[in-house]
């Protein structure tokens, strides 16, 4: 289990409140703390104590700390852990929670979310144990892509995670998805030689439009601009990844293409990856006319000709290839029994466990209960189920 680095400790109202950087707050009953402190240092108490409440300061939601000791598997849930889609790219999701309330967010993330009730954070040693195992299964030429439902750069062990992934023999590329707000110039310097590429979410070059799209009136556009400049001067590749929201940032997409053409050079990979806005069931849905895939790619093709740039990206642009993968544990429609081990991501959900997989279960039951449920999703070893009554 990886110890947290404590940056502050306060005693208030019969509780001990630990700050782990700017992101995480851990609350322990003062009586419990004094009992544990007889034999343990604060770092061990914060990491190992079962009688604690963890809060994500960014979202205000409770954080579930997932380590090997919790019995919650690292595979199976779309929000945390690891996702294996049968290629040489391994998605690693160390933490949920975002500082932005993007009006198009597929996960309805951010402090203003009216859908999400729980955040998750995965122990670094637990992550690395499974990353090493899966990378060995995949063989040479693995890409570790650190992403998630939120801003993965806020993970307290982010730089250590990048370093340890980079050190693995099978790993050729370490990349991350980021909105830029978790970065500063020192981070970028520290990550050089370890992180290969940042896919940076930038949806406009206009500060006012950025505030509208991000759902954050205080969106610090100048900070993002500075991070792009520092990254362009580093040995870390930068891929600008805007989401095209029709009727809101149409002209902005053109401006971003021209900005990338004029300012980002000598990349090993494409410098821009334009994403189509897709409305999801539980995501935010701005009142816009959704572009069809046919029209989206038709326009990108036209823009490719105009700017002589690669805008329609394919797996081959990132050297993605099929590799051995984990076997799926369930069949769609199968009835199973799952043990509920943690609160679910959304209201009306719990994290269930069965056959060494975490499952998102729609149920009104509670942690510690066993629920009979029907598997409704199995794709890419990610599982969803509904309770059978």
Label each residue of the chain as H, E or C: CCCCCCCEEEEECCEEEEEECCCEEEEEEHHHHHHHCCCCCHHHHHHHCCCCEEEECCCCCEEEEECHHHCCCCECCCCCEEEECCECEEEEECECECCCCCCCCCCCCCCCCCCECEEEEECHHHHHHHHHHHHHHHCCCEEEEECCCECHHHCCCHHHHHHHHHCCCCEEEEEEEECCCCCCHHHHHHHCCCCCEEEECCCCCCHHHHHHHHCCCCCCHHHHHHHHHHHHCCCCEEEECCEECCCCCHHHHHHHHHHHHHHCCCCCCCCECCEECCCCCCCCCCCCCCCCHHHHHHHHHHHHHHHCCCCCCCHHHHCCCECCCCCCCCCCCCEEEEEEEEECCECCEEEEEECCEEEEEECCCCCCCEEEEEEEECHHHCCEEEECC
In which band, very low, low, confident or very high, does the pLDDT at 190 lie, cut at 50, 70 and 90? very high
pLDDT > 90? residue 113: yes
pLDDT in tens, 33-64: 999 999 998 988 887 777 888 999 999 999 99
Q: Output the pLDDT for position 45.
A: 87
pLDDT at position 248: 97
23 with 79: CB under 8 angstroms?
A: no
pTM over 0.85: yes
State how far the alpha carbon of 42 is from the alpha carbons of 1, 28, 114, 163, 171, in Å: 14, 11, 35, 26, 34
What confidence score (pLDDT) does residue 85 get? 96
Q: Which tens digit of pLDDT belongs to each residue from 75-90?
A: 999 999 999 999 999 9
pLDDT at position 44: 85
Can you say how many angstroms the Cα of residue 223 is from the centroid of all Cα atoms in its chain?
Answer: 21
Of 303, 211, 323, 293, which Cα lies nearest the Cα of 255?
A: 303
Overall average pLDDT of the 242-255 stretch:
97
Report, as an integer, the average pLDDT of 209-233: 95
At residue 20, does pLDDT exceed 90?
no
pLDDT tens digits along 154-178: 998 999 999 999 999 999 999 999 9
Q: What is the pLDDT of residue 23?
A: 87
Angle at 351 between CA 348 and CA 352, to 5 degrees: 115
Q: What is the mean pLDDT of residues 233-258?
A: 97
> Average pLDDT of the chain?
95
Per residue in 265-288, pLDDT (tens digit) is 889 999 999 999 999 999 999 999
Looking at the DSSP bridge assignments, the partners of residue 26 are: 18, 54
Q: At what angle do helices 250-263 and 293-307 cross, to 10 degrees?
A: 40
- Tokens representing 262 are 């004029």
Of the two residues 1 and 112, the one the predictor is more confident about is 112
Question: Is pLDDT above 80 for 328?
Answer: yes
Q: Is residue 373 within 8 Å of residue 339, measured between CB atoms?
A: no
Measure the CA–CA gap between 121 and 189, rounded to whole angstroms: 25
According to the model, what pLDDT value does residue 221 have? 95
Mean pLDDT of 184-193: 96
Could you tell me which of 346, 300, 280 has the C-alpha nearest to residue 102?
Answer: 280
Instruction: Over range 95-116, report the average pLDDT.
Output: 96
pLDDT at 4 over 90: no
């Amino acid at each position: 289990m990886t110890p947290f680095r404590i940056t502050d400790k306060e005693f208030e109202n019969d509780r001990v409140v630990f700050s782990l950087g700017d992101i995480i707050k851990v609350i322990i009953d003062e009586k419990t703390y004094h009992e544990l402190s007889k034999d343990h240092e604060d770092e061990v108490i914060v990491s190992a104590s079962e009688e604690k409440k963890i809060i994500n300061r960014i979202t205000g939601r409770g954080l579930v700390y997932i380590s090997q000791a919790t019995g919650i598997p690292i595979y199976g849930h779309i929000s945390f852990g690891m996702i294996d889609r049968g290629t040489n790219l391994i998605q690693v999701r160390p933490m949920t929670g975002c500082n932005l309330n993007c009006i198009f967010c597929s996960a309805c993330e951010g402090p203003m979310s009216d859908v999400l009730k729980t955040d998750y954070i995965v122990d670094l040693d637990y992550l690395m144990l499974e990353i090493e195992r899966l990378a060995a299964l995949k063989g040479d030429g693995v890409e570790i892509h650190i992403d998630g439902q939120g801003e993965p750069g806020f993970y307290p062990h982010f730089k250590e995670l990048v370093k340890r992934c980079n050190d693995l023999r099978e790993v050729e590329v370490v990349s991350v998805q980021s909105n830029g707000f978790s970065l500063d110039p020192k981070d970028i310097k520290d990550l050089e030689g370890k992180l290969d590429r940042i896919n940076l979410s930038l949806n406009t070059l206009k500060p006012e439009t950025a505030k509208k799209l991000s759902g954050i009136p205080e969106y610090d556009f100048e900070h993002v601009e500075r991070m792009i400049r520092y990254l362009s001067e580093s040995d870390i590749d930068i891929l600008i990844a805007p989401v095209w929201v029709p009727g809101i940032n149409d002209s902005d997409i053109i401006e971003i293409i021209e900005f990338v053409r004029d300012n980002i050079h000598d990349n090993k990979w494409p410098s821009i990856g334009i994403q189509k806005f897709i409305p999801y069931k539980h995501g935010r849905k701005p009142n816009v006319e959704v572009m069809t895939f046919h029209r989206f790619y038709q326009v990108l093709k036209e823009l490719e000709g105009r700017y002589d740039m690669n805008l329609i990206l394919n797996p081959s642009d990132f050297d993605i290839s099929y590799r051995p993968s984990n076997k799926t544990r369930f069949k769609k429609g199968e009835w199973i029994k799952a043990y509920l081990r943690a609160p679910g991501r959304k209201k009306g959900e719990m994290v269930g466990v069965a056959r060494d997989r975490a499952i998102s279960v729609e149920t009104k039951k509670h942690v510690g209960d066993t629920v009979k449920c029907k598997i409704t999703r199995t794709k890419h070893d990610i599982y969803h189920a509904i309770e059978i009554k």
